[in-house]
Amino acid sequence: MIRKSIYLFLLIVAVYFGFAYLVAIGSLGSYEGPGEITTIPLPEEETIKRTERQLKDKNKIGIQDKKIILFGDLHVHTTYSSDAFLTSLPLMAGEGTHPPADACDFARYCSSLDFWSNTDHAEDLTPEDWQEIKESVRQCNNVSGNGQQDTIAFLGWEWTQEGGFGQPHYGHKNIILKDLDEDKIPARPIASPQLGFANMPFSGRFALSSLKAFDGRVQDLMTYARDGVTIPCPSGVDVQKLPTDCKEYASNPGELFDKLNQWGHDAVVIPHGTAWGNYTPPEADWKNQLTEEFHDPNFQTLIEVYSGHGNSELHRNWRSVLYDEEGQAICPSPSENFLPACWQAGVIIEERCFEEGESDRECKKRAKEARQNYANAGNAGQATVFKEDPTEWLDSNQCQDCFLPAFNMRPKGSAQYILALRNFNPDDTIERFKFGFIGSSDTHSARPGNGYKDINRIDFTDAAGPTESVGFIFGFNEGEGIYGKSTPKIYTKDNKPSGPIEVDRVMSYFYTGGLIATHSEDKSRDAIWRSIKNKEVYATSGPRILLWFDLVNSDEGILPMGSETSLKSNPRFIVKALGSLEQKPGCPDYAVNALGKERLALLCKNECYNPSDIRREIDRIEIIKIIPQEYQDEKLDDLIMDPWKSFKCNGTEECLVTFTDSDFEIQARDALYYARAIEKESKVVNAGNLRCEVDAFGQCKEVNICYGSPIQNPREEDCLANTQERAWSSPIFVDYKKY
C-alpha cells in the first residue's frame, strides 16, 4: 500500500502549485456556467409504453385504483456544491465539473426519472448561482412542456449543519419547493451559518481549460472562490424586506421553519443522513429535535431512510460511545455485531506497545488511555492514534448485520428510533414525529437516480479520490505523535478537527442511490406534490419495485401508506409488491440519438435505465411494528419490532400478503406499521463494505477496503457483493381510540 511518503510529498507539491496557478490566472479564466440542456424530449411512445406496462402489472396483482407509481430523486448535487466540486477535480480522480444541465440530461436520458430536484448546498451559493439554478430547472421543464412532461424538475437546496465539540447538532435537511414562478419561491436559499466556499474571501469564480481528466475530456474546472464576499442578511428582519443580494442564514431548524413560514410558499423539509456517522457526533440524539422549537410538522413530513450514503432506517441498542450523567465519555466494551472504534484504538496501541518491548502492565495502561482519548475526541477519535493505518480499525464502529449501513452508524438518528420517541413535556405542542419514508441518491456528480444499475462505482457513487494521500491533505494533519501511545485531542467549538473524518474507510460505504416513489393521480407537478404532502410515498434502494401498503378496516375506508388514523379494533392490512424490471445492457436508441455518443459516454457511461419485460422475484415481505413510548425514558428495545412479521413469497415476481395485529386491542397502545418488500439476491456495489475476513468465531481479523483511489483500487473495480435490494413503505400510524 502506498503510504504517506514520496507520493504524498509529490502530491502536496502538485496540489499547492495547482491551486496557486488557478488563483494566479483567475483574471484570465472563463466562467463555467450552468451548462447546456439537451432540448429533445423523450419520444411520446416511450412514456405511453411505460404507463401501459404499469397498468397491466397493476391489473395482474389486483390493484383497482387509478393512481400510477412515479419514481424520482429529491437529493441531487451538482458541482455548484463545494464538496461536489472538490471531488470533480482530476487530483481527486474526478472527471470534471457536472453543472445543473447535466443533472437534467441524466434524469431524462440516463436514469429516465419521472421527477427530480436540484438541492445544492445553500452555504455555497451566491445570488448569481441561485439565479442560474432556477433558470436551468425551468429550462429542464420546458423541454417537454407542451404535452405531458417526461421529466419534471423541482427546485430546492440543502441546509447543511453539523454539531459536536460543544455545538448542538441538527444535521442536514433538503428543502424542496413546489413551484417555479418567481413570486412563489424564496428570493434566496436559506443557509446554515457554517463555512461554505461561497463565504470565502476570494475574488472571481473562474475556470481552467488546460487540465484533463483521466478519460481525456478537457475540463472547465471552476474554483469555489466566489465573486467577492457575500454579505449576510441583517437579523430580525422579515424575509420579504431583506436586501436582494444578501446571504440568508438560519442557525437552527427553528429559524429555518420561521423563515419558510414568513415566505409562505409551499415547501417540504426532508432530513437526511440522520444516522450517518461521518458527520453526526456520537452524542447526537434526535430526541433533542422533538420540540415545537425545532420541528414543524407542516413542513417536515418525510425522512430519507436510504441514499447513496447508506441506510438510516435501523435502530440498534449498541452505542459507539456512552456518556454519564455529567456528560463524560465512556468507551463501551464490544458486543454482538458491534466493535466500538474506541475499544479498537486500545487494541492498536496495546499491540504497538508490546512491539516496543514494554511490560504487560504498561501496555494495558496505554490501551485504557487510548480508549478514553478516542471517546473524548468525538467524531475525530481516529486522530488520537498517530500514523494509523485504516486497515488497523477492522470493522469497528460499523453495523455488521445491517443492509447497506451508513458509515459509523448512529442509532439515535435512525428512522426507527425517531419514530419510537414521544415528547412528554406538557407545555410543548409537538408530541411525536410522524414521517413518511423516501430514498434518494445524494449524488455529487449531478446524476439523479443513479441506482438503476450497480455499475461504475467511482463515477456513480461518491467513492472517489486518492484517499490515502489527498485525504491526508484535506483531512487531519497528524503532526507529531508517539507511535506506541495515544495522543489526547481536545476539541472545542473554536478548535475543531482540520478536515473530513476517516476518508479511507468511508469509501467502502458509498452505494448507488435510492429513489422516492409516489402514488399519484397522474404525471403532473400538482399530483406528485399532493402525494408528497400526503406521505403517500415509499423508498427504494435503487430498483423500481412496485409497492402498495393499505389499512383496510379503518372508519374512513381503505387508507394508503402514510395515513394517520385511530382505531379501537385490531387493524387489518394488505401488502402487494412487484419486483423491479431486469435491466438490459447499454442504452435505448432515444438516449443515443438525443445525447450523441460522446455525451452519452461521458454522462451515462454508456449504461442507461433500459428495462426488459422480466421482473425480479420478490423473496419476502417483512412488517415492522413500532409502539411509541408511553412514559419518560421507556426503553426502545421492546418497542421496535423488526421484523414483527415475515412472509416468504412463492418465488414469483409478485407477492401479496394480508395480516392483522391481534395484540392491538390487548395492548391498547398507539402503534405504527410499515412494510419492506425484499427482492432475491443480486450483486450490489460495496455491499461487502470493508470485506472482512473472519475467524472461526465470526470475528473480523482482516479487512480489504474498497478505496476510492484508482491507485489502490482499479477504477473499473466495482467491489460487488450479494445483497437483497428492497423497498420501504411509508408507515401507517394507528393510534388507539380510547373512547
Q: Counting every residue, how long is the chain?
A: 739
252-258: average pLDDT: 97
Q: Which helix (H) or strand (E) holds 693?
A: strand 693-694
Q: What is the pLDDT of residues 591-616, one digit of tens each?
A: 999 999 999 999 999 999 999 999 99
Report the alpha-carbon distance of residue 497 to residue 676 in Å, rounded.
39
Q: Is the pLDDT of residue 220 over 80?
A: no
Report the alpha-carbon distance of residue 383 to residue 375 in Å, rounded.
11
120-143: average pLDDT: 95
pLDDT at 568: 95
Q: How many CA atoms lie within 13 A of 87 on its CB side?
A: 25
Question: What are the cell numbers at 477?
Answer: 494533519
pLDDT at 158: 98
pLDDT at 478: 60
268-290: average pLDDT: 96
Are 277 and 406 contacting, i.e. CB atoms less than 8 angstroms apart?
A: yes
Domains and CATH numbers, the chain: 6-316+400-463+510-542 (3.20.20.140)
Q: Cα–chain-centroid distance for residue 441?
A: 6
Measured over the CA atoms of residue 272, residue 274, residue 276 and residue 277, the dihedral's sign is positive
Q: Is the pLDDT of residue 224 over 60?
A: no
Q: Cα–chain-centroid distance for residue 17?
A: 34
Percent of the chain topping pLDDT 90:
76
DSSP conformation class of 156: E
Mean pLDDT of all residues in the chain?
89
pLDDT at 496: 84
Report the alpha-carbon distance of residue 383 to residue 134 in Å, rounded.
41
DSSP 87-116: HHSGGGT------HHHHHHIIIIIS--SEE
Question: What are the cell numbers at 123?
Answer: 452555504
Q: How confident is the model at residue 92 (pLDDT cuts 50, 70, 90)?
A: confident
pTM (predicted TM-score): 0.92
Q: Is the pLDDT of residue 204 over 60?
A: no
pLDDT at 499: 65
For 463-498, b/e burial (b = at least 16 CB within 10 A) is bbbbbbbbbbbbbbebeeeeebbbbebebeeeebbe
Q: What is the pLDDT of residues 655-693, one digit of tens each?
A: 999 999 999 999 999 999 999 999 999 999 999 999 999
pLDDT at 149: 86
Give ∠ CA 688-692-696 in degrees, rounded to 5. Answer: 130
Q: What is the pLDDT of residues 139-177, one digit of tens each?
A: 999 997 556 789 999 999 999 999 999 999 999 999 999
Q: How confident is the model at residue 739 (pLDDT cuts 50, 70, 90)?
A: confident
Report the alpha-carbon distance of residue 307 to residue 406 in Å, rounded.
9
Q: What is the pLDDT of residues 536-569, one digit of tens each?
A: 999 999 999 999 999 999 999 999 999 999 999 9
Q: Is the pLDDT of residue 217 over 80?
A: no
pLDDT at 196: 57
Bridge-based pairing state of the strands 329-330 and 310-311? unpaired
pLDDT at 467: 52
CA-closest candidate to residue 271, choices 410, 396, 394, 386: 410
pLDDT at 147: 61
Report the alpha-carbon distance of residue 276 to residue 170 in Å, rounded.
12
636-644: average pLDDT: 96
Q: What stretches of 611-670 adopt beta strand conformation (E)?
A: 611-615, 618-626, 640-648, 654-660
Report the alpha-carbon distance of residue 35 to residue 38 in Å, rounded.
10
Q: What is the pLDDT of residues 472-523, one digit of tens each?
A: 455 555 666 899 999 999 898 888 887 667 888 999 999 999 999 999 999 9
